Every structure is written in structure tokens, then in C-alpha cells.
Chain A
Amino acid sequence: MDSISELLRTPLFLTIATFLIYWVSGWIQRKSRQAWLSPMLITIAALIALLRACGISYESYYESGHMIEFWLKPAIVALGLPLYNELRHIRRQFMTLLLTELAGCVVGIVSVVLIAKWLGASQEVIASLAPKSVSTPIAIEISRQLGGIPALTSAIVVAVGMIGAAAGLKMMSWGRVRGGVSQSLSMGTAAHVMGTNRISAYGERYSAYATLGLILNGLLTAFLAPPLVDWLL
């Protein structure tokens, strides 16, 4: 028995567990047809429950986890291809997009930092919140740079994506944002991949704009978050 439980703690078996749970989670999402029930979210919750139940520390899990996490950075680099594909749109309305994204990015960082500060959040939580609107891999890197907690950032980013996907269109109708392109751009800016996903049902043109919002805000946040957070804290 002891040797079995030893074996189950090895990186190989924890990797298998990650793949298996992710696969089952994808199946659950397809069956339930709930967009917010992301396989990633289910997998994270299930793995935490499993590790706690078996008394396995995060440090032991990380021996397997770091091999998976390693692929985050190349995946961000790969976003260079969709960025290249959007260059045509970017050139055509460069100033409009730049001003819009600058405003969205600054409003996102400043509002979240100031509100959290007023409500008494600690420094590391504020730093983890600052990059909340951008895609997780990018947000994690920014959070790390700011002295935040990458894990907390990734949880917040996922929550942001869920809220954006579920309520984003409703929120924009309150704010009288009516243009399809403007809505798409906002969804990508505010709620990264999950917002983009929500928009993609309306057609390729809209998902291109949402992707544009996602990528531009990711870039701008990487450049602007460090000085803004420094200045606000």
C-alpha cells in the first residue's frame, strides 16, 4: 500500500491526474453547455480538492506542474501570429484604437487599484488585482513583476472572464455601448479570452476586434501597469 501511495505522488502520476481531470472537465462543460463552467476552473478546483484529500503539498504538485506551466510563455509568444493577422485593422484605424485601448487600460488599472486600496486591501493583493483584465498568462507575468501573487491573479482573471462573458453585454447596454465593433473591442479589452469567446458567436469580424482588444490591452498593461501601480500605491 505504501509503495502505491508513494507512486501516486510522483510527478508522472500527478501529470496524469492533471490531464485526466482536464479531459473529464471538458466533457462536463460540453454536456452542461455552460460557458462559465470552464474546464480550467473545474480542473483547478478538483486538483486542489484531490491534493488536500491526499495530503499532498503544493510543492510536490509543482514538480509536475512546472512542466505544464513551462508552456505558458511560448503560448504568449504564439499570440504574435494573431497580432500580425490584425495589423491590417490596426493600421487602418491606428489612432482610434490606440486612444481607446489606452483609456480602457488606464481605467482598468486605476479603478481596480484605487477601489481595492480604499477598501483596505493589502499591497500584494492590490498588485495581484492590477492586471486583472488581461489574459492569464500575461497577467501572471505582470503580477509577478509587480510583487503580486500570480496564483491569486490567475483566479481573479478567470473570475473577470466569467463575469465579462456572462454579464458584459448587459453591462454595455446599461452604458449605451451599441456598435457591434465597439462592443467586441470592449469585451476583448475587459474580459480577455473569455470575453472574446463570448463575442465569437457573432462572426469573424467581431472576434477579430475582440482579439485585438485582448492583445492590445495585454501589451499596454504590460507597459503601463508597473509605473501606474508604483504611482498609485
Chain B
Amino acid sequence: MAKQFGIIFGCLGLGELLALIPGLNIPGSIWGMLLLCLILERGWVRPASIAPICRFLISNMAFFFIPPGVALMLYFDLIAAEWVPITVATVVSILLVLIVTGRLHQYLHRRFRHNPNKHRHGQHQ
């Protein structure tokens, strides 16, 4: 347990240091994620040894962001004033992201055919 938390928080701590680099606005936690991936890839830590803690943290992520969500109570006026741009921008943007990402991947995937396992299209209809 101590080792697992040590690794996660060690990556986070190093990440927070990297986040201090001026001009690169990357949150420390993102650096930490990349560092964790790096040490796993290098084989310095066995994936199985940190899997339980990672699974625990990831599966409970929703719980950890309740407090920032509750802070919403401070901004009800702002949302009431700007709900139209918020809603329209959000819905249109989701539609665009889904279609652009999906179509482009579909196109590139067929074009380069670098997937050795054949798989069928159209399974989610």
C-alpha cells in the first residue's frame, strides 16, 4: 500500500514540479499521468503492483469531483444569465466532435489498413 501510494504521489509531485516550467500550461496531474506511464513502459514498476490502487482511484473518480461540483451553487446567477450560449455551444460542439473524429478515423483506418485483426463495421447500430 505505502509503495503504491508512494509511486502515485511521487509521480504527482514530480509532475507538479514540471508544471512550474514557464510557458507550458500543463497541469501537474497530467505530467504525473505521463510519468506513471513512462515508468511502467520502462519496466521500473510492474503494472500488477500498482493496479489495485489505480483501479480504486479511477473507479471512484466521480466521487472525488463532488466538491468542485457543489461549488456550482456559487454561480447560479451566472448560469441563469448565460444559459443560451452555454447550451447551444455545448450541443453543437459535441455533434461536431463526434462526427469529425468518427469520419476521419473511419477514412484513415480504411486507407492505411494497419489493423491486422479484421473487424466488422457497423456493429453499434
Contacts and interface: CB of A to CB of B under 8 A. Distances in A.
Are A and B part of the same complex? yes
Contacts of A34: none
B26 interface: yes
Given A115-B89, A149-B75, A164-B94, A75 B61 contact: yes
Contacts of A150: 68, 71
Given A95-B112, A103-B100, A115 B88 contact: yes
B64 A72 contact: yes
A190 B97 contact: yes
Nearest to B101: A104
A78 B66 contact: no
Interface in A6-46: 18, 22, 38-40, 43-44
B117 to A, nearest CB: 9
Interface in B96-115: 96-106, 108-109, 112, 114-115
A233 interface: no
A94 to B, nearest CB: 9
Interface string B73-108: 111001100101110111111111111111111101
Interface residues of B, number: 80
A76 B36 CA distance: 10
Contact of B98 (A43, A99, A168): A168
A169 B107 CA distance: 18
B69 A154 contact: yes
B68 A140 contact: yes
Contacts of A95: 108, 112
A51 B9 CA distance: 32
A64 B82 CA distance: 30
Interface string A127-147: 001001101111011101100
Contact of B70 (A44, A75, A223): A44
Nearest to B4: A78
Contact of A81 (B40, B72, B78, B124): B40
Interface string A172-196: 1111111111111111011101000
B37 interface: yes
Interface of A: 18, 22, 38-40, 43-44, 47-48, 51-52, 58, 61-62, 64-66, 68-69, 71-85, 87, 92-93, 95-97, 99-101, 103-104, 107-108, 111-113, 115-116, 118-122, 124-125, 129, 132-133, 135-138, 140-142, 144-145, 149-152, 154-156, 158-160, 163-164, 168-169, 171-187, 189-191, 193, 199, 202, 205-206, 213, 218-219, 222-223, 226
Given A47-B70, A112-B92, A149-B75, 13 more contacts: A18-B66, A77-B12, A78-B33, A85-B47, A87-B41, A95-B108, A97-B105, A111-B97, A136-B61, A168-B94, A171-B98, A179-B122, A186-B97
27 contacts: A22-B63, A47-B70, A65-B70, A69-B64, A69-B65, A71-B60, A72-B29, A75-B60, A77-B36, A82-B58, A99-B104, A100-B105, A111-B89, A120-B85, A124-B78, A129-B90, A132-B90, A151-B71, A152-B75, A173-B125, A175-B103, A178-B122, A179-B105, A182-B102, A189-B98, A199-B124, A226-B25
